[in-house]
A and B are shown apart, each in its own frame.
Chain A
């Protein structure tokens, strides 16, 4: 495959745009306004190119580009399939909305401290992770997104932020190190880093014990990053500390990179075949759902409550992976789409609630319904979406997952899915009853937010929550895409052939 047409560049375009935008912002370090303009231009361009890439993948299968014209499996390839391209599109879209939200959320000081370049660097890292076809390169993008996220997490430098960032950094660096060790072992075993090539070669390895050990290391590394049980506690300990806009993009995207990596490695490299890993995944998924739901139930801080619903959401996606049937995996992927939107939306909404009520804790926060009924309605809609009230978007993937669990002879997993939904509903209703319905004893503090800043907070919040709700009412296209993505993942031959060329 010598040469590359202009349209082939779509595979790397969102990533390169993110890097260039981040670099440009750094050059204009003392010009927050210029940075904001560059930020919008970059994320919008990323959205457009990612949408074009996604359309191409849907029409013509996986798109591949070999970096520097070094052919696979020797060079680094970027390979976009339906899952990767779709997630890249979501990343860019959430990036645009977060930037709008940040106009009202971030003070001038935060922007001076490098908010926009860090955000763009993180978006570039996330996009790179979704699009790369090389496992070591995946590690590199994990590092890029971590650097960006460390910076975003401590912007502002409050004491609780540093404490949260410490937990976040230690756990994530540990996970990254395990990832690196596993990759070293894998390279020693098969002598290649290209994921498609690894998939072909691992299948022929006779030492299954070693293969399983490496798979277990990957499970541990990515499970930590995805905030799956038992290593999820870093997430509720850190995600509520930064500015709400930062929490929103973290909750929406970062854990999904871990889930994406789990799905990629455990469908392509170590395909689940009904052995011990399937059982392990089922237990992890069920425990993640239940701990997420129970954690959300006992929280009084709205931001921590939403953080626990993010953890619970990871469990549903893992149910799809654990059962490894086509129906279950498409349900899990549909849930991933839903979860990116609603996690971002809820974190944004909670930020607005805190702005109106002057607090995040439901023991203090009250009377928002009386102050702004329209916003209360949006929050309630978001709460219904996340707990899976029909016909909103949390409902359909759960139906699919319940059906798939029963069809696979694992009714207890279906019970866990339903219990998790019930717990989430209880948690968000309690929060709504206390923070919104209950009348406030003292008059609400007059927010120091200007009407313009308030509009830029409310706009993206409403847009993303309504998008998540519409996703349920017009579920057909999304379900079709999820089904196509699951089909590709379960039959990786097309992906392997696209990466390695037809000779493989």
Chain B
């Protein structure tokens, strides 16, 4: 779609959406939010970008193939649980690496899991959107 207004507004809009999606991702650690919603917001950002600038630009922005992004996400989520192996806990046991008196709890395996979910959602939704747009 070649709309001057959209193309001018898109850089601002998309960067806002991606930043907001990351905010939602980390907010999900203790409050409503999380990787799934965050991923959807980021993917909608990519979709808006695609409407304005075309699928090729989105592929360039993602650098690697969107399915590869999803694959990294699945790996991150599945392997975050395996770290518990080294402390003798069962699969997916949550580990926090900062001492208790620091009030930032984002260096932890549940966060890695959630980032994995985020990447999986971004990758797979982006792949579907790109496929639909490029299919003729």
Contact = CB atoms under 8 A, between A and B. Distances in A.
Interface stretch (B7-15, B18-26, B31-39, B62-70): B62-70
A331 B77 CA distance: 40
A20 B90 contact: no
Nearest to A17: B78
B74 A26 contact: yes
Nearest to A8: B90
Contacts of B65: 29-30
A78 B72 CA distance: 25
A4 B72 CA distance: 27
A27 interface: yes
A12 B82 CA distance: 10
B89 A23 contact: no
A122 to B, nearest CB: 14
A22 B91 CA distance: 18
B99 interface: no
Contact of A12 (B70, B88, B89, B91): B91
Contacts of A60: none
Given A6-B85, A29-B65, A30-B65, A23 B91 contact: no
Interface stretch (A66-74, A165-173, A484-492): A66-74
Given A6-B85, A9-B85, A16-B81, A27 B90 contact: no
A22 B92 CA distance: 18
B91 A26 contact: no
A26 B89 contact: no
A23 B75 contact: yes
Contacts of A78: 91
B101 to A, nearest CB: 23
A317 B25 CA distance: 46
Interface in A108-155: 114, 117
Contacts of A16: 78, 81-82, 91
Given A16-B78, A26-B74, A27-B75, A65 B67 contact: no
Nearest to A65: B90
Contact of A27 (B71, B78, B93): B71
Contacts of A114: 67
A28 B71 CA distance: 8
A66 B90 CA distance: 7
B75 A4 contact: no
Interface in B42-65: 65
Contacts of B75: 20, 23-24, 27
A297 interface: no
B68 A29 contact: yes
Contacts of A4: 84, 88-90
Contacts of A5: 88
Nearest to B91: A12
Contacts of B129: none
A29 B68 CA distance: 6
Interface string A202-217: 0000000000000000
A3 interface: yes
B92 A68 contact: yes
Top 3 A-B pairs ranked by shortest CB distance? A26-B71, A23-B74, A27-B71
Given A4-B88, A20-B79, A69-B84, 5 more contacts: A8-B90, A19-B74, A68-B91, A68-B94, A69-B93
26 contacts: A3-B89, A4-B84, A4-B89, A4-B90, A16-B91, A19-B78, A20-B74, A22-B74, A23-B72, A24-B71, A25-B71, A26-B67, A26-B74, A27-B72, A27-B75, A28-B68, A28-B71, A29-B67, A29-B68, A65-B90, A67-B90, A68-B81, A68-B94, A69-B84, A69-B89, A69-B94
Interface of A: 3-6, 8-9, 12, 16, 19-20, 22-30, 65-69, 78, 114, 117
